[in-house]
Amino acid sequence: MQQITGSPDAGTLARMIDKKRLPVHIAIIMDGNGRWAKLRGLPREAGYEAGVETLHKIVESCVKFDIKILTVYAFSTENWNRPRDVVGFLLQLLEDTFSREVQQLHEAGVRVKILGRRAGLPASTREHIEKAEALTAENRRLLLNIGFNYGGRSEIVDACRELAGKCVRGELAPEDIDESLLAAHLTTGGCPDPDLLIRTGGDFRISNFLLWQIAYAELHITPTYWPDFSEEDLLRAIVDYQNRDRRFGKV
Ligand code: IPE
Ligand code: IPE
Ligand code: MG
């Protein structure tokens, strides 16, 4: 086991990582964008723009270090309760970012998937999402799941509705519903659970992210605001993850 002492640089951290025990799936709650902006006397929106830059860099780092799945939380079902102009800005930012960056993601072998309730999004946002998903569907280097209008509870409710519908139509018996079937009906269906969940911005809470899927994820919470999160911070989280004893209920 390698303890982190002092603040090693990215090169040292990269050498500390055991390539045979990498987390397959990393999830990130990208929090602290507003506070990052406020600290600099900038409008909140500047924090989101900087946050997109960070996501771009972290996606590249995941490709570089052979992480297979990255799931990020960009907009929660509760974030609709923010001021209208902030919500409008975030919807526009998703569209602009997709227009600008999807081709590059595609060329890097990244498959993009949006998790969350589609029906609640404007038609133009849905079009951008569908186009990006279709273009990148066959890519296998990295799966990038983006939670947008995502809530862990609504996701479980939607899965239950679908299962109940199948029971009513006689396609499924209630006693055939088990954990793997429910998991398959979540928007992450078919994807292994996150091994490591990172939250930036320092708050020790889950905020309705991946409630089902993080049952046994290792949690890494850093006070760093998302726009400041670097490859070095990602590597530090991976080293921290590799120092954990994952018992899964066993002795
Ligand atoms: C998280 O950043 C991203 C979204 C919710 C869109 P915040 O906007 O919550 O940033 P803070 O927590 O206010 O700093
Ligand atoms: C969680 O951040 C949601 C996203 C990062 C998209 P919030 O800022 O919405 O979470 P709370 O309100 O601090 O719990
Ligand atoms: Mg926040």
What is the residue whose two structure tokens read 């919470």? 221
Q: How far away, in angstroms, is 225 Cα from ligand 1 center?
A: 9
Residue 159 placed within a domain = no
- CATH number, domain of 52, equals 3.40.1180.10
How high does pLDDT run on average in the chain? 97
Candidate list 31, 193, 195, 233, residue with the active-site label: 31
121-142 residue pLDDT tens = 999 999 999 999 999 999 999 9
**Taking residues 53-66, what's their average pLDDT?**
98
161-197 residue pLDDT tens = 999 999 999 999 999 999 999 999 999 998 999 999 9
Q: How far away, in angstroms, is 40 Cα from ligand 2 center?
A: 20
Pairing assessment for the beta strands 110-115 and 142-150 based on DSSP bridges: parallel
Residue 148 has pLDDT above 80, yes or no: yes
Residue 245 placed within a domain = no
Element (H, E) at 157: helix 152-168
pTM of the predicted model as reported, rounded to 2 decimal places: 0.97
Nearest to 198 by CA among 223, 222, 216, 231: 222
Determine the pLDDT at residue 3: 67
Residue 37 placed within a domain = yes
Q: Which residues surround ligand 3, an ion (CB under 5 A)?
A: 31
Do 84 and 40 form a contact (C-beta atoms < 8 A)? no
Strands (E), 69-201: 69-76, 110-115, 142-150, 196-199
Nearest CA to ligand 2 atom 8: 31
Nearest to 101 by CA among 61, 32, 55, 140: 55
Mark whether 228 is an active-site residue.
no
Provide the domain count of the chain: 1
Q: State if residue 48 touches ligand 2 by the CB under 6 angstroms criterion.
A: no
Determine the pLDDT at residue 93: 98
Residue 6 has pLDDT above 80, yes or no: no
Residue 86 placed within a domain = yes
Residue 136 placed within a domain = yes
Residue 237 burial (10 A CB sphere; 0-12, 13-18, 19+): buried
Q: State if residue 208 touches ligand 2 by the CB under 6 angstroms criterion.
A: no
